[in-house]
Amino acid sequence: MRTLKLLLLAILVSAIMLPAVALLLAFEAAPKIQEPSTLTPADIARAKHLVRVHDPRRVREGASRVLTLNRKDVELLLGYAAARLDRNFVARVDLLPGAAFVQATIEFPANPFGRYLNVEAVLREAGTLPELDRFTLGRLPIPSAAAHWALARLATGNGGADLARDLVKKISFVTGGVRIEYETRPDLPDRLRAVLIPDEERERLRAHHLRLSEILARLPAHGDSLTALLVPMLALAAQREGDAAAENRAALVTLAAYLGGRRLTTLIPEAASWPRLARRPLKLAGRGDFAQHFAISAAFAATGGGPLSDAVGLAKEFEDARRGSGFSFSDLAADRAGTLFGERATGKPFEARRFAARGAAGIRESDIVPSLGELPEFLSGREFAARYGGPGHPAYEGMIGQIEQRVAACPLYR
């Protein structure tokens, strides 16, 4: 009887201790990966090219196509997917013939076990889709069978996973790249929309579109400051129940589409029946282009593209320096302010709701963007190169550092 009692006690202690030990091994105090890889204007140009070439509207139905992604493409996609889960995530990928080695760091709120979940995985080619060969959480190795079971559970009912299984014919790894052979189908555009914008997101966007329509109808014909829209839009986000970050994101996407002169019908066909929005000139720091830079960058950041938002702004400025209005540090400052606004608006649930409440209480332009007028702009490519060199050069990095400090000092971001 004594032996039986000891055995039962051991089982009970194990049942309590094993999960705690697993958490202690999985979570760590320091991240293995510190920073995301830096995006360049060339990366943005490549992304635009890939989207254009593989636009499902331009591909013949039933045709087989091949999409080749490089290492940075894969890291960007992983980061975007993780951002949709509201987690701080950084990934590194090594692509070799027949295999991919993935390292990732996911940051969690402070807890007794450690803030960072460091993940390592090895994927190997196997038939149509790769198989998980090795998987480790921190110092805790996960058996392949358990990892496969967990991934299968996560993929069950997932529209993106279902779409991949139906369309992808073969994924193979080559040195520095992933080769994806896929087949187009007539229902591809509709299924992509369903994955990218689920029903609950469509409802949010519709609610914020209706609010924007009401606001614009009351604005004077000569327009107003962008803050005249931001305040009531954030007020609606603060009032609505549910996911505060998602509500803020919907508000910012709606504003960005309006400022960019785009309708949401491409992604949401039923938006064609939503009220048409009155055109009103909107400004920030006295200029319409600053309002556009801010709003579009905020939406990029809110949808998971913080570094992407910065890179897109930089890419546009380089293009302007070559053939447009010239390189503008003031545009970059508006971009950076918008990016920070979008990041803060869609942070952790409590922070997102508090941010919306602060914005709803009233926003002055100086709360969200620093003074922009004295920053250098309209620089030709030759003048920009002579004065600032470019990314990595001390003069350029010094100017970017000043912009970062000034944006961070704005009251709403403190």
Bridge partners of 327, per DSSP, are: 379
Task: In whole angstroms, give the CA distance from residue 78 to residue 95.
Answer: 14
What residues contact 181, with CB distance under 8 A and at least 6 apart? 64, 65, 66, 168, 169, 170, 171, 172
Pairing mode, strands 64-70 and 27-28: unpaired
Q: Which residues of 142-175 are buried (b: 16+ CB within 10 A; e: fewer)?
A: beeeebeeeeeeeeeeeeebebbeebeeebebee
Tokens matching residue 83: 């951002």
Task: In whole angstroms, give the CA distance from residue 315 to residue 336.
Answer: 13
pLDDT at 38: 60
* C-beta separation of 252 from 345 below 8 A: yes
| Higher pLDDT, residue 391 or 229 | 229
Q: At what angle do helices 41-53 and 306-323 cross, to 10 degrees?
A: 100
- Could you tell me which of 146, 136, 150 has the C-alpha nearest to residue 32? 136
pLDDT at 145: 76
Question: Quick one: average pLDDT of 321-344?
Answer: 82
DSSP string, 272-308: GGSPPPPP--EEBTTBHHHHHHHHHHHHHHHTT-HHH
- Whether the predicted pLDDT of 370 surpasses 60: yes
C-alpha 82, offset from chain centre: 8
| Domain boundaries, given as residue ranges, for the chain | 27-193, 197-413
DSSP string, 4-56: HHHHHHHHHHHHHHHHHHHHHHHEESS-S--SPPPP-HHHHHHHHHHHHHT-G
Residues in the chain: 414
pLDDT per residue over 130-166, tens digit each?
A: 888 888 888 888 887 777 677 666 555 555 666 677 7
Question: Quick one: average pLDDT of 218-234?
Answer: 91
Task: In whole angstroms, give the CA distance from residue 298 to residue 346.
Answer: 10
- Could you tell me which of 171, 197, 188, 251 has the C-alpha nearest to residue 84? 197
Q: At what angle do helices 329-345 and 244-259 cross, to 10 degrees?
A: 150
Distances (CA, A) of 284 to 32, 231, 298, 333, 337: 40, 14, 14, 12, 11
Helix H or strand E segment including 181: strand 177-183
Helix H or strand E segment including 67: strand 64-70
pLDDT per residue over 165-207, tens digit each?
A: 777 888 899 888 889 888 777 766 676 666 667 788 889 889 9
Distances (CA, A) of 128 to 60, 133, 169: 22, 15, 6
* C-beta separation of 97 from 123 below 8 A: no
Mean pLDDT (the chain, rounded): 79
pLDDT per residue over 252-309, tens digit each?
A: 988 988 888 888 887 788 888 999 999 999 999 999 989 988 998 898 888 765 555 5
Q: At what angle do helices 199-218 and 227-239 cross, to 10 degrees?
A: 140
Tokens matching residue 367: 């709360």
Residue with tokens 């087949």: 183
